[in-house]
Structure formats: structure tokens, C-alpha cells
Amino acid sequence: MAGNMWKTMEVMVKGIFLGGSLGAIVGWTGLIPLPKAVALGMLCGCLASLTFRDRMDSRQKKDGEQDRE
């Protein structure tokens, strides 16, 4: 249980950093203000990482059921 929580936290942190980085690039282009771009990028990265983690868990569960058959 604790290992699963740490894996989720690791995926979230990676998503937040990646999203913030992409937001900073968008902010530097001048499309939207830098602080807003970074904040929106971090939020999107967090949500994307949770979606990615959920899909990974579903795929592992599905593969585990197929191995039993």
C-alpha cells in the first residue's frame, strides 16, 4: 500500500515539473503572463499525471487477469 502511494506521488511530481516547464516556455513566448502560464502548466501536468497513473493501473490489472486465464 505504501509503495503504491509513493509511486503515485512520484508520477505526480514528474507531471507537475513537466507541466510547469512547458508553461514557462509558453510564458516566455509572451502568449500569456509567465506566472499564469506556469501555474496552468503545473495544474495540467498534475491532472495528466493522475490520468496516466490510472491508465497504467488499469492496464496492469487487465494484464494480470489475462495471465490467469
Q: What is the enclosing helix (H) or strand (E) of 27?
A: helix 2-29
Relative orientation angle of helices 34-68 and 2-29, to the nearest 10 degrees: 140
Q: Give the residue ranges of the chain where pLDDT is below 50.
A: none
Task: Give the three-state DSSP class for 33.
Answer: coil
pLDDT at 41: 95
The rounded Cα 62 to chain-centroid distance in angstroms is 21
Per-residue pLDDT tens over the stretch 9-25:
888 999 999 999 999 99
Rounded to two decimals, what is the model's pTM? 0.76
Cell output for 65: 487477469
